Amino acid sequence: MKKILIANRGEIASRIIRTCKRIGIKTVAIYSEADQDAIYTRIADEKYFIGPPNVNESYLNMEKIIQIAVDAGVDAIHPGYGFLSENAEFANKCKENDIIFIGPSADAIEKMGNKIKARRILGMANIPIIPGNESPLKDLNEAKLVANEIGYPVMLKASAGGGGIGMQIVCNDEDLEKYFTSNRRRAGDFFGDDSLFIEKLIENPRHIEIQLLADNHGNIISLGERECSIQRRHQKVIEEAPSPFIDEITRKKLYEVAIKIGKTINYSNAGTVEFIMDGEKNFYFLEVNTRLQVEHPITEEITGLDIVEHQVRIANDEVLSLSQDDIKIKGHAIEARIYAEDPVTFFPSPGRINKLSLPKGEKIRHEIGVEEGQEVTPYYDPMIGKLIVTANTRLEAIMNLSRALDEYNIEGIKTNIPLLKRISKNGAFKKGHTTTNFIAEELTEGK
């Protein structure tokens, strides 16, 4: 493999390019009108204009991306996360054009991309699944029957959903009547699939995920877990590894189930199995993210591995060079996502970055896609960077995080840094008492 096109933008494009440079692979960047001066376009070996800012005309334009890849003579495409990273059709188009897709097979993507199908497949393999229905809801009446059989409260979810879109907590029939039609329409608009299903709501849960690496030769290992419970509107804000909540017995069970899921769907490349866990450490399958995760750096920090490098090597049909016994977890890492958004309303805050000063330190890592003087546009996800801190212990990592956030300075736009500072100084967070309701319960006015 000599040349890779990165079908993405921003911080993740820069991060993939860095690894490719280190292992001697040339890179090709694509950019929209909004990204013509972006950092990643300058550090790539080649760059090609892809289209207007609108994603459907640029970063989601499969035909044009494939054509650029063919014209540039690349061996492979790395999709990063978001955009086309979990699109089975795109993975197939790469294969049809003799381009390696750096990710799992189109079959694995398709199976896990439809949450109803995923529930059905893994339920048959005796994977712990949250109680719910196994086929798309036909109408509101069927939804009511299912919800009452399972018992309120329930979660109404889009089968093709992701990023919290199409999810709604429902506490009674009246709520279901209120949200069913609008959620179906929203799912259709965002995903081109308006299928809905219902799951029992696990109250005050933790969100735990297991990072997997699997090659094309049947080898699969776990790189440990990440705690991703601190969320707002079902989107992660702070992640850490390892989890402060789970014990070694539960950890071992999680690894075993995650690997079993990987084997059940014949998974290859990097992937993440997400679980919901209740207060008694009972855990249930949530979904498989068939791509590189936003929060992969914290796993890299505690394992010493470069996950992107392993993705490339696996896609190049190399045998996994690691066994499970080779994976040693060392220290504690925390990632804080830096968003260009109002810290109170969570509304995006586009604009020009007048000043940018990043904290420095031996155990501080930055993955950032912007620079001073650059315009943050309203066209894409408002996450502009990630701050990763590492230490020998969790408490030390939290102290490093708090100090780094105090030194992090962005002027000209609003960011969520004030919110992140409050989290880092919160007593419940320091004790590891975090659930997906953490922000609502701990960071209300006056706390």
pTM score, whole prediction: 0.93
Residues 359 and 420 in one domain: yes
Residue 383 tokens read as: 């996450």
End-to-end CA distance of the chain: 53
Domain assignment present for 122: no
The reported pLDDT for the residue numbered 163 is 65
Q: What backbone torsions phi and psi does residue 237 show, to the nearest 5 degrees? A: -115, -45
- Mean pLDDT per segment of 10 residues, for the chain of length 447 residues? 98 98 98 96 98 96 98 98 96 98 97 91 95 92 95 92 80 95 89 91 95 98 98 92 97 98 98 96 95 98 98 98 96 98 91 98 95 96 96 98 98 97 97 94 69
Q: What are the distances in angstroms from CA 141 to CA 95, 137, 332, 433, 436?
A: 43, 9, 48, 39, 30
306 Cβ partners below 8 Å, 6+ apart?
A: 19, 22, 300
Is the omega angle on the peptide bond into residue 153 within 30 degrees of 0, that is, cis? yes
> Which letter does DSSP use for residue 17 in this model?
H
Residues 362 and 311 in one domain: yes
> Which letter does DSSP use for residue 233 in this model?
T
Residues 249 and 338 in one domain: yes
Residues 213 and 159 in one domain: no
Domain assignment present for 108: no
Helix (H, G, I), strand (E, B) or coil at 82: coil
Per-position b or e across 422-440, b if 16+ CB within 10 A of its CB: bbbebeebbeeebbbebbe
Q: What distance lies between CA 93 and its chain's CA centroid?
A: 23
The reported pLDDT for the residue numbered 134 is 86
Domain assignment present for 109: no
Q: Which of 368, 350, 379, 381 is nearest to 33 (CA)?
A: 379
The reported pLDDT for the residue numbered 445 is 53
Which secondary structure element, helix H or strand E, spans residue 223, and what is its range? strand 220-232
Domain assignment present for 124: no
Helix (H, G, I), strand (E, B) or coil at 387: strand
The reported pLDDT for the residue numbered 191 is 84
Residues 244 and 388 in one domain: yes
Residues 27 and 97 in one domain: yes
Residues 254 and 367 in one domain: yes
Name the β-bridge partners of 276.
Answer: 207, 284
Q: What backbone torsions phi and psi does residue 26 show, to the nearest 5 degrees? A: -75, 155
Is the omega angle on the peptide bond into residue 131 within 30 degrees of 0, that is, cis? no
Residues 193 and 292 in one domain: no
Residues annotated as catalytic are 291
β-bridge pairing 154-158 and 168-170: antiparallel
Helix (H, G, I), strand (E, B) or coil at 263: helix
Domain assignment present for 117: no
| Spatial separation of the C-alpha atoms in residues 267 and 381, rounded to whole Å | 28
- What's the number of domains the chain is made of? 3
Residues 186 and 210 in one domain: no
| Spatial separation of the C-alpha atoms in residues 248 and 222, rounded to whole Å | 14
Residues 192 and 319 in one domain: no
The reported pLDDT for the residue numbered 344 is 85
The reported pLDDT for the residue numbered 246 is 96
The reported pLDDT for the residue numbered 343 is 87
* Residue at which a domain ends, from 157, 181, 200: 200
> Which letter does DSSP use for residue 343 in this model?
T
200 Cβ partners below 8 Å, 6+ apart?
A: 130, 131, 132, 150, 151, 154, 155
Q: In this structure, what CATH number is given to the domain that contains residue 48?
A: 3.40.50.20
| Spatial separation of the C-alpha atoms in residues 256 and 219, rounded to whole Å | 14
The reported pLDDT for the residue numbered 235 is 87
Q: What distance lies between CA 180 and its chain's CA centroid?
A: 26
Q: Which domain holds residue 142?
A: 131-200
Question: 274 near 286, Cβ under 8 Å?
Answer: yes
